[in-house]
Structure 1
Amino acid sequence: MGGLCCCCSNNADETNLMPSPETRRRQQLEAAERRRYENEHRGVKDLERVRQQQLRSEAKQRRLEEAERAANSGPPTLKWQSN
């Protein structure tokens, strides 16, 4: 029965469970910055590899565009001849 009375009383430690508003704001700001940082870097493990893939993709796109322009600019360079 004595244990029940201890739970119902207000100790000084129990009344100070909430941090001060300033501390709470600081903690929320830190948590928000941590979430932003994690979201920015999620999924990208190797930035250099991503850059290389982008460069290869751009080079491939340029080659395709050049080939398309060459195909559409005038007569074809190879002709079939039959004797």
Structure 2
Amino acid sequence: MGLITSCCKPSASDVITPDSETRRRQQVEAAERRRKQEAARGVKDPERVKRMQQKSLEIEQREKEMQQQGGASLKWTTE
């Protein structure tokens, strides 16, 4: 039985390994895929989450600008 399976496997000299640059590129692509999968884990609509994060950043920036310009002054009046 060992003879049957040994003839189907390529020998060590027949296996072609990619050069270092190709291997690095593949590793970077795999890492990017893993990062995207991890970021989207448990989220049904990842684009919506990105939009919400962008919107909150814009709001924070507006608040900082308002504070630098003196801010919106709220006045309390009592009658």
Q: Same fold (TM over 0.5)?
A: no
Q: Choose 1 or 2 for highest CA Rg.
A: 1
Normalising by structure 2, report the TM-score.
0.41
Normalising by structure 1, report the TM-score.
0.39
Which has the larger helix fraction?
1
